[in-house]
Amino acid sequence: METPSYPGGNADNNRFTQFATDSNFKLDGVEVSRTTNSITDLIQGVTIDLKADDSGSVQYTAARSEASVKATVEKVISTLNDYKDELDRLTYIDVEGDNNGPLSNGSGCWKA
């Protein structure tokens, strides 16, 4: 049976004080192991940087910016409204027939 051993130094006579190991931790009770201390693939849009060895628990809370969510929803609504306005313009049927939209005679625009 082999016993793992670590060198006390290297060819340049440098001394090792700590050897690299994988980062091991729990996130929401799930064991996680990574080869780096910067984790970007667990929570979308969040980077977790592990800074020190801590055998105790660390509480971390992340929240979305309400302003950012609101701005995104408003942009989607505005884009949909612009789309509807353009669709109405293209498919407009003038009662007198003088100002019909370019797609007003298309079969896809007829109502049953």
Q: Does a structural domain hold residue 40?
A: yes
Domain hosting 83: range is 66-109
Number of domains in the chain: 2
Q: Does a structural domain hold residue 90?
A: yes
Q: Does a structural domain hold residue 12?
A: no
Q: Does a structural domain hold residue 61?
A: no
On whether both 74 and 104 belong to a single domain, the answer is yes
Q: Does a structural domain hold residue 10?
A: no
Q: Does a structural domain hold residue 11?
A: no
Return the minimum-mean-pLDDT range out of 1-5, 61-65, 98-102: 1-5
On whether both 71 and 96 belong to a single domain, the answer is yes
Q: What is the pLDDT of residues 41-64, one digit of tens each?
A: 988 888 888 887 767 777 777 777
50: Cβ contacts below 8 Å, ≥ 6 apart: 23, 25, 37, 38, 39
Q: Does a structural domain hold residue 57?
A: no
Buried b (16+ CB within 10 A) or exposed e, 66-89: eeeeeeeeeeeeeeeeeeeeeeee
d(Cα 89, Cα 15) in Å, to the nearest integer?
76
pLDDT category at 18 given cuts 50, 70, 90 is: low
Q: How far is CA 53 from CA 56, 58, 82, in A?
A: 9, 11, 53
Compute the average pLDDT of residues 79-105: 90
d(Cα 25, Cα 33) in Å, to the nearest integer?
7
- pLDDT value of position 2: 47
